[in-house]
A and B are shown apart, each in its own frame.
Chain A
Amino acid sequence: MSKRITIDPITRIEGHLRIDCEVDGGKVKKAWASGQMWRGVEQILIGRDPRDAWAITQRICGVCTTVHAIASVRAVENALDLEIPVNAQYIRNIIILAHAVHDHIVHFYHLSALDWVDVTSALKGNPVKTAQLAESLSTWKGNSRHEFAQVKERLAGFVGTGQLGIFTNGYWGHPAMKLPPDVNLLAVAHYLQALEIQRKANKIVSILGSKTPHIQNVAVGGVANPIATDSQSVLTIERLMAVKGWIDELADFVKNVYVVDVAAIGAFYADWLGYGKGITNYLSVPDIPLDGKGTKFALPGGHVPNGDPAKFKAISRFGDPFFEDNVAESAKHAWYKSGKGALHPYKGETNPQYTDFQDDGKYSWVKSPTFQGQPAQVGPLARVLAMVGAGHQPTIKTLNFVLDTAGAIAKTKIPVAALHSTIGRHAARAVSCAVQVDELANQWQLLVGNIGRGDTKTFNNPVFPKGEISGVGFHEAPRGVLSHWVVINNGKIVNYQAVVPTTWNAAPRNEKDEPGPYEASLLDNPVADSERPLEVLRTVHSFDPCLACAVHMVDADGRDAIKVTTNGCGTNLCA
């Protein structure tokens, strides 16, 4: 008999995502992803000055403030056909990349590793053997037996207090936890080291963004960072040198710890290369523009149909019609008025029509976006496959390293095609992070070089014409393609739509009733114990869900939704 599982909320932080699964014979047979909060922030922007939109859209979400600021100014600049100074691109690029590196490290170690790592088992780890294993994989300075012994002692003290704090809701001792105690100890030690290292990425964002967590330096037309080589209050050489120091520390950690850990943990869970495939129509956008107009990019992006990098088709510039013309959103299964088919974002409507949760009708506050009429998976995996397809050598090199390292530990050859999986998304995120941290160093070099040549320009003043203009700003955010769409009339916003990464991935069924990426990825996912559906969480968490921006508002009846239930047995669960 099939059993229905409802997990709500599913995210460790933020987020208001509900997943429903029908489980039969220990496998998921049907799945629904539902955003539980209304999305309507766009309406706040109507009537406002387009130069202010970035400051407001940055408030949509607490996890990804900067990405909305960036996409917003790009949308308005695209509408104005406004070129910005190249220094402004470099400064934005450094913020974008530091934020991405921060986000990926935190996602892997602090928000999803505990789906795979058993903290309580780490207490049985042997620090000497853990150090031997770690040293065989990497030269990282934090891999000594002394370090592991200290971590074990600290963890024992923490667990001994009886209050697990941040570790309270883990699935400790679950049958799907497969790592040996030494590997668990290794991972817990790196969890703690990652807490320390992620702060360096934050420092970079706050120095260049003038403030954190909400950056203040962005402006339509460039950035508000005055550059001077001799003044204290502005971007000085001293500050830039400090930034370089943190970039180097981040690069050391990402390449010698994060990438290696993902390969090692992935190797122990090689069976998970066979689960979580779902939608293999991938979409990413190019980012890290190298000129003022956005026609050349350091990191390529585009469309990878059928999961085949050989079929990659590039999106080549800001406002490229290949992107702009091919996006639409359907509200057929979302709690908005529908019936006009999938609408282009410039024509997008956000008028609520709440029903109940209807399996075959409306069941989510998330709309269902499509690219060329088809659902698309976005995120690091889409990004990495596109960069492989584009022949981006740093990506290919890092990807080969991860596949070879994991293959050596698992004693099998792991092909690129294995990336279409739950573990594959984690591997791709690590590869992406390593590529991005190197590009961060490149962008720093470009900025310093340009300032050295005497160019200190950072801003071009925007001028709004009479009449109607429209534009799209896209950004390859940590969770994937983010696009803001703006229509401006006589210098005021008349329509605004944000199509965010989690909207693509957490989409409900679309106009043609096809499932979205989360829903498709869960089919045939194993569930050993339907009262503790850890395996479902593994697959959904591998996308790095962040519903706070896919949907943003209080839920329909104004209550907090903290119910986690398994229908059929009546037991409460905690995600």
Chain B
Amino acid sequence: MSSTRAQLPQHTVLLGVGNLLLSDEGLGVRALELLERSYDFPPGVELIDGGTCGMELLEPLTSVDLLIMLDVIHANRAPGDLVILRGDEVPARLRHKLSPHQVGLSDVLATLVLTDEAPQQVIVIGIEPENLALGMALSPKVAARLPEMVSVTLLELERAGIHARSRRTPTPANRQLAPQPS
């Protein structure tokens, strides 16, 4: 037991990325919102809404042990399919743009390699998109798999020895970024 404990990541980041204004493109941010509202995480786990940002993420992604990226993933699968990328699959994927914002994110990771501060382990969890048109709501197929994506994320954290606790009452959703005008 003590040997597993010694390998626990000290600094874990859950990073939701994507453009909230392009329907399924906002998946990563929506998944992060759901995790943030419904669970409590132990110290050392940071939840970051990265949106479509690039260099601004350099500081928060510095010297991270475990980086879990939540994002829409184009993998030529059926819309709504859950996709997990790990190890060598991650950098190869990032070089081919998964979505427009990742031009910036791959630069951030490349810069962290240059400064020798790159995340030790990167896992990407996402869903094949159905609709990338203008709009703030997820498509039905992708929305239907969102709870599963959240569960898979929690399982990955469990594998790393990190236990998130379900909240009895989730915090209310952010009205300002709600999918439809109120």
Q: Please list the residues of chain A having a beta carbon within 8 angstroms of any beta carbon in chain B.
A: 9, 11-16, 37-38, 40-41, 43-44, 46-49, 51-52, 55-56, 59-63, 65, 102, 106, 110, 158, 165-167, 192, 195, 198-199, 202-203, 211-214, 492, 548, 552-554, 558, 560, 562
- Judged by a CB distance under 8 angstroms, whether B144 is at the interface is no
Contact A203 B114 (CB under 8 A): no
Contact A548 B133 (CB under 8 A): no
Chain A residues with Cβ below 8 Å from B52 are: 14, 59, 61-62, 548
Contact A59 B55 (CB under 8 A): no
Give the complex CA separation of A548 and B97 in angstroms. 15
Contact B53 A213 (CB under 8 A): yes
Contact A213 B111 (CB under 8 A): no
Give the complex CA separation of A548 and B101 in angstroms. 9
Contact B100 A560 (CB under 8 A): yes
Contact B54 A214 (CB under 8 A): no
Chain B residues with Cβ below 8 Å from A52 are: 175-177
Chain B residues with Cβ below 8 Å from A110 are: 55, 111
Contact check: which of B56, B97, B104, B136 meets A202 at CB < 8 Å? Answer: B56
> Which A-chain residue is minimally distant from B177 (CB atoms)?
A55
> Which B-chain residue is minimally distant from A199 (CB atoms)?
B59
Contact B21 A166 (CB under 8 A): no
Chain B residues with Cβ below 8 Å from A55 are: 174, 176-177
Give the complex CA separation of A558 and B20 in angstroms. 17
A-B contact pairs, 25 of them (CB 8 A): A14-B101, A16-B100, A44-B134, A48-B181, A52-B177, A55-B176, A55-B177, A56-B21, A56-B177, A59-B51, A62-B52, A62-B56, A63-B54, A165-B113, A166-B114, A198-B55, A198-B58, A211-B49, A212-B60, A553-B134, A554-B100, A554-B132, A554-B133, A560-B100, A562-B97
- Judged by a CB distance under 8 angstroms, whether B135 is at the interface is yes
Contact B176 A213 (CB under 8 A): no
Chain A residues with Cβ below 8 Å from B56 are: 62, 65, 102, 202, 212-213
Contact check: which of B51, B107, B132 meets A213 at CB < 8 Å? Answer: B51
Give the complex CA separation of A48 and B178 in angstroms. 10
Give the complex CA separation of A20 and B136 in angstroms. 34
Q: 5 nearest interchain CB pairs?
A: A62-B52, A55-B176, A213-B56, A166-B110, A213-B53
Contact B103 A165 (CB under 8 A): no
Contact B58 A199 (CB under 8 A): yes
- Judged by a CB distance under 8 angstroms, whether B57 is at the interface is yes
Chain B residues with Cβ below 8 Å from A166 are: 107, 110-111, 113-114
Give the complex CA separation of A16 and B101 in angstroms. 11
Known: A61-B52, A106-B55. A56 touches B176 (CB 8 A): yes
- Judged by a CB distance under 8 angstroms, whether B34 is at the interface is no
> Which B-chain residue is minimally distant from A63 (CB atoms)?
B54
- Judged by a CB distance under 8 angstroms, whether B22 is at the interface is yes
Contact A40 B134 (CB under 8 A): yes
Interface of chain B residues 86 through 108 with chain A (CB within 8 A): 97, 100-101, 103-104, 107
Q: Mark B113-151, 1 if CB is under 8 A from A, else 0.
A: 111000000000000000011111000000000000000
Chain B residues with Cβ below 8 Å from A44 are: 21, 134-136
Contact check: which of B49, B97, B104, B114 meets A560 at CB < 8 Å? Answer: B97
> Binding site of A, secondary structure by majority: helix, strand, loop or mixed?
loop
Contact A202 B59 (CB under 8 A): yes
- Judged by a CB distance under 8 angstroms, whether B182 is at the interface is yes
Chain A residues with Cβ below 8 Å from B55 are: 13, 63, 106, 110, 198
Chain B residues with Cβ below 8 Å from A43 are: 134
- For the complex formed, measure the closest distance between the CB of A489 and the CB atoms of chain B, giving whole angstroms: 13
Give the complex CA separation of A71 and B65 in angstroms. 37
Give the complex CA separation of A167 and B135 in angstroms. 36
> Which B-chain residue is minimally distant from A158 (CB atoms)?
B114
Chain A residues with Cβ below 8 Å from B53 are: 62-63, 65, 213
Chain A residues with Cβ below 8 Å from B60 are: 212
Contact A13 B21 (CB under 8 A): no
Give the complex CA separation of A52 and B173 in angstroms. 14
Give the complex CA separation of A492 and B101 in angstroms. 30
Give the complex CA separation of A48 and B54 in angstroms. 28
Give the complex CA separation of A165 and B115 in angstroms. 11
Other than the known A56-B21, A213-B57, what 12 A-B pairs have Cβ atoms closer than 8 Å?
A13-B103, A13-B107, A44-B135, A55-B177, A59-B19, A59-B51, A59-B177, A62-B101, A62-B104, A166-B107, A195-B111, A202-B56
- For the complex formed, measure the closest distance between the CB of B47 and the CB atoms of chain A, giving whole angstroms: 11
- Give the residue among A47, A158, A166 with the most B Cβ atoms within 10 A: A166
Give the complex CA separation of A463 and B136 in angstroms. 27
> Which A-chain residue is minimally distant from B113 (CB atoms)?
A165
Chain A residues with Cβ below 8 Å from B59 are: 199, 202-203, 212
Give the complex CA separation of A533 and B125 in angstroms. 38
Chain B residues with Cβ below 8 Å from A61 are: 52
- Judged by a CB distance under 8 angstroms, whether B50 is at the interface is yes
